[in-house]
Amino acid sequence: MIIADLNNKLLEYHEKFPFFGIVLFTEAHPHVVKALKDQEYYAALHEISGDSIAIFATMLFRGRLVYPDFPPGVVGMFVPIWQEPVQNKELLSWFDIKDSQKLPMFVLFGFENSLLYYRKHSLKDSSVQESFDSLREVLSLVATTIQDNANTDSKSLFRKAKWEISKLQFKRQIKDLIGVVSQFRGVSGL
């Protein structure tokens, strides 16, 4: 059902937009839900994306950790195993996402000659503002790249947008590393 709905939307918009974006999340990410449902946040994200990129949002079914069942008389280790709902598997497989534990995520994607290409970007979800900022940051980069390179062929344009997302992820990793180092320095008294 999710795939059919997404296919219909892609067919409807494929001539109008060079690329598409999809925000993937579950009900385990309430801050993303609130950021997407808030009228002001929605209007701000729409203003950023404009005619550059069509953004879809999909709430997937929530997976869960389960313990394996063993037949009587068999001893085994009770290591929890992630159980992904069947409804999620097809959409997640489109973008090579192993399971919904990796969500929330923004995926930029496009098509050329029936070939799907995409770039994944993890979103932060510790507050509504942080969820919105995370989405705004990646959308701003992609929309600016598309607008600045409007006369470029779609494959080159996607490579440029992909590069901008990679730089954003690298900056986030460096920022997180600096935070960990500063916490370590505070604990160790350096």
Segments making up each domain of the chain, as ranges? 2-188
- The domain made up of 2-188 has a fold known as Glutaredoxin (3.40.30)
Return the pLDDT at 138.
95
Q: What is the pLDDT of residue 189?
A: 64
CA atoms of 179 and 185, how far apart (whole Å): 10
Q: Does the pLDDT value for residue 190 go beyond 70?
A: no
pLDDT reading at 187 higher than 80? no
Run of H or E residues at 168: helix 154-188
Of 102, 136, 139, which is closest to residue 122 (Cα–Cα)? 102
Q: Say how far apart CA 128 and CA 108 lie, in whole Å.
A: 21
CB distance 82 to 73 below 8 Å? no
Instruction: State the chain's mean pLDDT as an integer.
Output: 87
pLDDT in tens, 106-122: 999 987 777 788 999 99
19 bridge partner residues: 53
Q: For 11-44, how does the pLDDT look when each residue is reduced to its tens digit (9 = 90+)?
A: 788 778 888 999 999 989 999 999 999 999 999 9
As a whole-number percent, the residues of the chain with pLDDT over 90 amount to 41
Q: ∠36-129-178 over CA atoms, to 5°?
A: 130
pLDDT digits (tens, 9 = 90+) for 153-174: 888 888 899 999 999 999 988 9
